[in-house]
Amino acid sequence: MDLGIEGRSALVLGGSQGLGLACAKALAEAGVRVAINGRDEQRAGQAAHSLGGQAVAIAGDVSVPAERQRIMQQARQHLGPITILVTNAGGPPPGPVEGHERDAWLKALETNMLAALDFAVMALPDMKSDGFGRIVNVTSFTVREPYANMGLATGVRAGLTGAMSSLAQEVAGLGITVNNILPGLMDTGALVRVYAAQSKREGITQDEAKARMAVSVPMGRLGTAEDFGPVCAFLCSRHAGYMTGQNITVDGGLVRSLL
């Protein structure tokens, strides 16, 4: 299916691996010129190379405010106006709420909430000028169904969800949509950290912790990057122009909420 976005330029944050790379790949396959951001310069470069000649790599840490401005500036220098933005960052560590120090909360706010908001605000002038814009935020299924020992990640992502919901209302009449994708138990590096922590906490092997997670999913398996990327690309497409302020869960049926 032609997504109607060929030739547009996208910035994908945290796009050098995992779900971010899945989004970047799906966008590139739709003919979008993609700038991949990642903290590791070599990994970001390899990811961009894997997508072909129109992709570029921009190394930088989105948790650092000054770095955010440089990343956006370089994306524009390479690709021109950015009309598609995918925000994504590695999640905060799991653990009980009472176990996180103040600094951990502040770091999570910078990385998983404020960074996405800053990039959205920086991208809006290009989107308003073009009369077309797509902002897609990768959050987590725990925003919809909170889990124990995930309070840090859930808290900051819930805050991001609220702010982005307001932004969606503010720009809805300008051809700009703002949506969130909530991945479930996806078999990426981020989930490895979660079941490794469970393994240590509960005295079981990592394979046992992983298998138990898979059993908890109605589809009977963990999700993959290939399950995720096409959903991201669709939300960035012209076909999704009447969808905004939505939270789309990609989770194999894991979340049991009615809405």
> Residue 158 CB: number of other CB atoms within 10 A?
17
Task: Domain ranges for the chain, please list them.
Answer: 9-184+228-249, 186-222
Mutual angle of helices 18-29 and 225-235, in 10-degree steps? 50
Which strands form 56-59's sheet, in the order they lie side by side?
A: 56-59, 33-38, 9-12, 84-87, 133-138, 176-183, 247-250
Q: How far apart are CA 161 and CA 219, in angstroms?
A: 26
Query: What CATH number should be reported for the domain whose range is 9-184+228-249?
Result: 3.40.50.720
Average pLDDT over every residue of 88-95: 88
pLDDT digits (tens, 9 = 90+) for 44-87: 999 999 998 789 999 999 999 999 999 999 999 999 999 999 99
Instruction: Choose the weakest-confidence range: 104-113, 199-208, 243-252.
Output: 199-208
Between residues 163 and 258, which one has the greater pLDDT? Answer: 163
- How confident is the model at residue 109, as a pLDDT? 96
Is the pLDDT reported for residue 193 higher than 80? no
Identity at 9, one-letter amino acid code? S
- Of residues 73 and 187, the one with the higher pLDDT is 73
As a whole number, the mean pLDDT across the chain is 94
Backbone torsion region of residue 245, taken as left when φ is above 0, otherwise alpha when ψ lies between -120 and 50, otherwise beta: left
Per-residue confidence band for 200, with pLDDT thresholds at 50, 70 and 90: confident
The token duo for 191 is 């989930």
Greater model confidence, 194 or 150: 150
Give the pLDDT of residue 130. 98
Whole-angstrom distance, CA of residue 203 vs CA of residue 158: 31
Q: Is the pLDDT assigned to residue 190 strictly greater than 80?
A: no
DSSP string, 2-58: --S-TT-EEEETT-SSHHHHHHHHHHHHTT-EEEEEESSHHHHHHHHHHH-TT-EEE
Q: How far apart are CA 22 and CA 254, in angstroms?
A: 21
